[in-house]
Every structure is written in structure tokens, then in C-alpha cells.
Amino acid sequence: MHVIKKKTLDAYAAQYPEAAEPLRSWRKLMERQDFRDLIAVRAVWPTADFVDPYTIFNIKGNHYRLLTIIHYRFQRVYIQGFLTHAAYERWTRAHRRGRTS
């Protein structure tokens, strides 16, 4: 998979230093994979979740959530956001009501 944008991940790592190594590990592992669907993603990351259109990964043992959009056909994963657990809970409530900001 091609991760777009690595600079965005680096910025999150700088903002949340305790998540820097888990983010690097996530990126390296993602770049070595050729996922065809969410089932394949969950074989590597069992806690990956899908909240249309996002695939969401737990980072640093449930402390953070990495929001991505994966285009399996083109082997690209787009970084969409990085949230603390509390911010993610607020985001999911808003997302369920139809607000995504």
C-alpha cells in the first residue's frame, strides 16, 4: 500500500510524541502489505474498524485513532485524521448524526 501523506503522519508524531513509534510501525507495516479488502486488513489489525468511508486503526493500545480512507484497487491509503480516544468518541457521535467535522 502507498501511504498518502507521510508528512501528515510525521506531524501527528511530533504533536503526540508518545504515539510516534506506533505510527512509524503502522506505516512500515502498511507499506509492506497489498490489502485487497477490509478482511485482509483485519487479519493484520484485528481491531481495525470501518465507519463509512473510513477505516480506523487503534494506535498505541486504544489511546489514539488513525482515520484513513483506503482505495484497495489502487493500493492507496489516505490519512484523514488522528484523534485521541476522547476526541474520537465525540467524532463518532457527530458522524452518526451526519456531521463529519
Per-residue pLDDT tens digits for 21-64: 999 999 999 999 999 999 999 999 999 999 999 999 999 988 99
* Bridge partner residues of 55 (DSSP): 50, 68
Predicted confidence (pLDDT) at residue 98 exceeds the cutoff of 90: no
Q: Where exactly are the structural domains of the chain?
A: 2-96
Predicted confidence (pLDDT) at residue 7 exceeds the cutoff of 90: yes
In the structure grid, which three cell numbers stand for residue 71, read together? 482505495
Predicted confidence (pLDDT) at residue 93 exceeds the cutoff of 80: yes
At residue 96, the pLDDT reads 73
The neighbour count for residue 65, using CB atoms within 10 Å, is: 22
Q: Name the pTM for this structure.
A: 0.90
Protein fold of 2-96: YaeB-like fold (3.30.2310)
Distance of alpha carbon 69 from alpha carbon 76, whole angstroms = 8
